[in-house]
Structure 1
Amino acid sequence: MLDSVQKHLKLYKIRRKVDIDPCLDLSLWAVLPGEQSGYVSSTLDKYKDKTLILTPDPRAEVMGWRLVMSKETNPLEVVPGSQIGNIKEYHRHRYKQGIPEGAEDIPPGVALPLESNLAYMNGISFTKGCYIGQELTARTHHMGVIRKRLLPVQLSAPLLSGRIPEGSDILTESGKSAGKYRAGGDELGIALLRLANINELLHINLPGDTTVNLTATVPKWWPKPANK
Structure 2
Amino acid sequence: MCRGGRSMTLFFTGRLGNSTESSLLLECDSTVKDAILKHLKVYKIRRKVCIAPCPELAIWALLPVDKNSSSGKPEVTANKDNIVLERDPRTELMGWRLIVSHEVNPKDIIASAQVGDAEEYHRHRYKIGLPEGVSDLPPGVALPLESNLVYMNGISFSKGCYIGQELTARTHHTGVVRKRLMPVCLSTPVDGLKEGVALQTNSGKPAGKYRAGKGELGLSLIRLAHAKEPLALKASGDDNTVTLQASMPEWWPKEAK
* Contact 1:118–1:124, Cα closer than 8 Å, also in 2: yes
* Contact 2:201–2:230, Cα closer than 8 Å, also in 1: yes
- Partner in structure 2 of residue 127 of structure 1: 158
CA deviations over 1:70-120 (Å, ceiling 9, x no partner):
112221122212211111111001011111111111112211110000000
* Contact 2:71–2:92, Cα closer than 8 Å, also in 1: no
- Give the 5 Å matches for 1:144-155: 144-155=175-186
- Cα offset, 1:10, TM superposition: 2.2
State which of 232, 238, 241 in structure 2 corresponds to 1:208.
Answer: 238
CA distance in 1, matches of 2:41, 2:197: 33
- Partner in structure 1 of residue 104 of structure 2: 73
State which of 203, 220, 224 in structure 2 corresponds to 1:195.
Answer: 224
* Contact 2:202–2:232, Cα closer than 8 Å, also in 1: yes
State which of 17, 41, 58 in structure 2 corresponds to 1:10.
Answer: 41
Letter in 2 for 1:112: L
Partner SS for 2:115: coil
Matched, 1:184 2:217: no
Matched, 1:43 2:75: yes
> Normalising to structure 2: TM-score of the pair?
0.82
Letter in 1 for 2:96: W
CA distance in 2, matches of 1:63, 1:220: 12
Matched, 1:54 2:85: yes
Percent identity between matched residues is: 57
- Cα offset, 1:51, TM superposition: 3.9
* Contact 1:50–1:73, Cα closer than 8 Å, also in 2: no
Tell me which moved more, 1-10 or 203-212: 1-10
**Any stretches of 5+ residues in structure 1 without a counterpart?**
none
Matched, 1:220 2:235: no
State which of 137, 143, 150 in structure 1 corresponds to 2:168.
Answer: 137
CA distance in 2, matches of 1:42, 1:31: 8
CA distance in 2, matches of 1:98, 1:11: 34
* Contact 2:70–2:93, Cα closer than 8 Å, also in 1: no
- Cα offset, 1:47, TM superposition: 4.2
State which of 19, 22, 27 in structure 1 corresponds to 2:58.
Answer: 27
CA distance in 1, matches of 2:135, 2:238: 24
CA distance in 1, matches of 2:203, 2:45: 52
CA distance in 2, matches of 1:137, 1:125: 10
* Contact 2:70–2:92, Cα closer than 8 Å, also in 1: no
Give RMSD over aligned pairs: 1.6
Aligned residues: 223
CA distance in 2, matches of 1:47, 1:119: 35
- Cα offset, 1:59, TM superposition: 1.2
